[in-house]
């Protein structure tokens, strides 16, 4: 069985000296610089074996000038999950480490978040738009995106 | 030369059948409308159901879904037309042989439907190509699609073949991808934005 989020925080902080996490609404808030360390530990520690990244998305908080990237992890081998991680990034320049070296499945989801939210994933080998076309300007899932008037001539 | 209906009926009782070229040609054309085999979203599932045995579009002679636009008479735009897909839909329509028809199936193909205020969906395929029959619904039932097909048959029967060929439009311009939408946003020869509705005086 997977420990509760509070226990998980304590266990991770013991395993990884220098890492400080917070719990917020059932998710672990991970500092951006420590995300790779924490994720690698969650995948490779036998007890957790979180080998499956089921979801990677982002949330835009314009009033707080913040962009959160959200990770949902499951374990196929242990049949447990989900563990929810969140990384808080500055909205003006959101950059976070890519998770593709850890979970191969992150590649397309990171491209989607880059396309629609404009988050840059450091270390991604092929970071380009995936849904919108190459010449598209802007990131349409950002709250301040202005939708074109299709009736205008 | 038009034949008086009463005389025609009288002659039929005697075993003499009279018709005109247009009626004969339209009878054939309207009963073998071959649709282009492609679907864009959930409406396509209803279109597939219409082709299966329960609703059986074969009763109307339209069971032969062609995999090539060169062999199709009818384009059923079944589903959401995204901005990214719209140029391909126009290109497929251009590749079909005259005379050719379009059914806009469902709310999305007609107006953008639930995605009307979204950033990535075309607000109606009629902005680029001329639609003959619109079918409401989200998605329309197979019955509704068959009703739309019957309306199209009526339309084909009511027009002469010579007029259809004379009204040949040629190719429709294929839109390109712009900074946040298609360029041009619509084909002014086919579609014009609705005049703004005056607000009623309070």
pLDDT along chain B (202 residues), means of 10: 79 86 89 94 95 94 94 95 95 92 95 92 94 95 96 91 74 93 92 78 62
A63 confidence band (pLDDT: 50, 70, 90): very high
Cβ–Cβ contact B99 with A under 8 A: no
Q: Which of A135, A147, A153 sits opposite B119 (nearest CB)?
A: A147
Alpha carbon distances (Å) from B55 to B50, B147, B152, B155: 5, 12, 18, 22
Q: Which of A135, A137, A150 sits opposite B123 (nearest CB)?
A: A150
Contacts of B184 in chain A (CB under 8 A): 153
pLDDT of residue A1: 74
Nearest CA in chain B to A146: B119
Cβ–Cβ contact B100 with A under 8 A: no
pLDDT of residue A122: 95
- CB contacts < 8 A (A, B): 42
Say yes or no for a CB contact (<8 Å) between B185 and A151: yes
pLDDT at A49 over 80: yes
Say yes or no for a CB contact (<8 Å) between A132 and B120: yes
| Cα angle, residue A135 at apex, residues A133 and A136 outer, rounded to 5° | 70
pLDDT of residue A3: 85
Phi-psi group of B88: left, alpha or beta (phi > 0 → left; psi -120 to 50 → alpha; rest → beta): alpha
Please say whether the beta carbons of A28 and A83 come within 8 A: yes
Say yes or no for a CB contact (<8 Å) between A150 and B185: yes
pLDDT at A74 over 70: yes
- Within 10 angstroms of residue A116's Cβ, the number of other Cβ atoms is 23
Say yes or no for a CB contact (<8 Å) between A145 and B119: yes
Contacts of B84 in chain A (CB under 8 A): 131-133
The nearest CA of chain A is from the CA of B180 a distance in Å of 6
Q: Average model confidence (pLDDT) for chain A?
A: 94
Cβ–Cβ contact B88 with A under 8 A: no
The nearest CA of chain B is from the CA of A142 a distance in Å of 11
Which helix (DSSP H) or strand (DSSP E) does residue A9 occupy? Answer: helix A5-15
| pLDDT tens figures, A91-115 | 999 999 999 999 999 999 999 999 9
Say yes or no for a CB contact (<8 Å) between B177 and A133: yes
Say yes or no for a CB contact (<8 Å) between B84 and A132: yes
pLDDT at A23 over 90: yes
Report the SS3 class of residue B111.
helix
Cβ–Cβ contact B178 with A under 8 A: yes
Nearest CA in chain A to B193: A151
Please say whether the beta carbons of A106 and A98 come within 8 A: yes
What's the sign of the alpha-carbon dihedral B26, B27, B30, B33? Answer: negative
Residues B80, A63: Cα–Cα separation, whole Å: 33
Residue A94: which of A142, A43, A45 has the closest Cα?
Answer: A142
Say yes or no for a CB contact (<8 Å) between B127 and A150: yes
The nearest CA of chain A is from the CA of B189 a distance in Å of 12
**Predicted-complex ipTM score:** 0.83
Say yes or no for a CB contact (<8 Å) between B185 and A153: yes
Residues A132, A32: Cα–Cα separation, whole Å: 27
pLDDT of residue B201: 66
Please say whether the beta carbons of B104 and B125 come within 8 A: yes
Say yes or no for a CB contact (<8 Å) between A137 and B179: yes
pLDDT of residue B51: 94
pTM: 0.87
Phi-psi group of A89: left, alpha or beta (phi > 0 → left; psi -120 to 50 → alpha; rest → beta): beta
Q: Which of B117, B118, B193 sits opposite A151 (nearest CB)?
A: B193
Contacts of B178 in chain A (CB under 8 A): 135
Which helix (DSSP H) or strand (DSSP E) does residue B103 occupy? Answer: strand B101-105
More confidently predicted of B201 and A48:
A48
Residues A61, B61: Cα–Cα separation, whole Å: 55
Which helix (DSSP H) or strand (DSSP E) does residue A75 occupy? Answer: strand A66-75
pLDDT of residue B168: 66
């Amino acid at each position: 069985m997977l420990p509760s989020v509070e226990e998980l925080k304590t266990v991770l902080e013991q395993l990884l000296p220098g890492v400080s996490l917070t719990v917020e609404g059932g998710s672990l808030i991970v500092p951006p610089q420590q995300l790779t360390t924490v994720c690698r530990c969650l995948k490779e520690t036998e007890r957790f074996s979180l080998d499956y990244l089921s979801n990677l998305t982002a949330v835009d908080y314009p009033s707080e000038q913040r962009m959160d990237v959200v990770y949902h992890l499951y374990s196929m081998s242990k049949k447990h999950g989900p563990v929810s991680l969140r990384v808080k990034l500055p909205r003006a320049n959101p950059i976070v480490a890519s998770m593709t070296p850890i979970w191969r499945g992150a590649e397309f989801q990171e491209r989607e978040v880059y396309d629609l939210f404009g988050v840059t994933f450091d270390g991604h080998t092929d970071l380009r738009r995936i849904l919108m076309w190459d010449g598209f300007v802007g990131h349409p899932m950002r709250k301040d995106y202005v939708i074109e008037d299709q009736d205008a001539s | 030369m038009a034949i008086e209906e009463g005389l025609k009926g009288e002659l039929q009782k005697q075993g003499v059948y009279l018709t005109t070229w247009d009626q004969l040609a339209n009878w054939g054309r309207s009963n073998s409308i071959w649709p282009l085999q492609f679907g864009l979203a959930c409406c396509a599932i209803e279109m597939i159901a219409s082709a299966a045995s329960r609703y059986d579009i074969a009763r109307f002679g339209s069971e032969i879904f062609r995999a090539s636009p060169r062999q199709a008479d009818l384009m059923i735009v079944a589903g959401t037309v995204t901005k990214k897909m719209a140029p391909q839909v126009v290109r497929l329509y251009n590749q079909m042989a005259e005379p050719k028809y379009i059914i806009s199936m469902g709310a999305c193909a007609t107006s953008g439907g639930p995605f009307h205020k979204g950033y990535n969906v075309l607000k109606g395929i009629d902005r680029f190509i001329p639609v003959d029959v619109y079918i409401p619904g989200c998605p329309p039932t197979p019955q509704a699609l068959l009703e739309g097909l019957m309306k199209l048959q009526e339309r084909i029967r009511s027009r002469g073949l010579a007029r259809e060929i004379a009204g040949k439009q040629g190719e429709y311009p294929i839109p390109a991808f712009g900074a946040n939408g298609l360029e041009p946003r619509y084909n002014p020869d086919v579609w014009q934005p609705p005049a703004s509705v005056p607000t009623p005086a309070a």
